[in-house]
């Protein structure tokens, strides 16, 4: 199953535990596209959905995802394939000047 690595900046949106927010988490979930993998992740952590995706299901502008080291280009459809042993790295983008 694909692995989703959730950066420490996003772990505060996971189910509250004494260690929430204290480092990245890795979760194995099913799916063959970025959207399918994220839907499996949101089934485990529903509170993460509204922070990561907007009302249309697209990645929010402040969230970045990489599939096996390559940035997800289509943040709207999330149709990039993910292999069975693939890894999605999900983190909060930084901005400012």
Q: What is the CATH number of the domain that holds 46?
A: 3.10.20.30
Query: What confidence tens digit (pLDDT) does each residue in 18-67 have?
Result: 554 567 889 999 999 999 999 999 999 998 999 999 999 999 999 999 99
Residue 97 covered by a domain: no
Q: What residues make up the domain containing 34?
A: 3-92
Query: What confidence tens digit (pLDDT) does each residue in 56-96 have?
Result: 999 999 999 999 999 999 999 999 999 999 999 999 877 65
Split into its structural domains, the chain has a count of: 1
Residue 64 covered by a domain: yes
Residue 40 covered by a domain: yes
Instruction: Please provide residue 58's backbone torsions phi and psi, each rounded to the nearest 5 degrees.
Output: -85, 155
Residue 31 covered by a domain: yes
Q: Output the CA angle 9-12-18, nearest 5 degrees.
A: 125
């Amino acid at each position: 199953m694909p692995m989703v690595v959730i950066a420490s900046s996003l772990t505060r949106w996971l189910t509250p535990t004494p260690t929430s927010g204290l480092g990245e988490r890795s979760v194995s979930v099913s799916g063959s596209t970025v959207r399918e993998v994220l839907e499996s992740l949101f089934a485990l952590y529903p509170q993460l959905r509204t922070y990561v995706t907007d009302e249309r299901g697209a990645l929010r502008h402040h969230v970045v995802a990489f599939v096996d080291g390559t940035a997800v280009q289509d943040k709207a459809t999330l149709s990039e394939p993910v292999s069975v042993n693939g890894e999605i790295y999900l983190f909060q983008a930084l901005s400012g000047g």
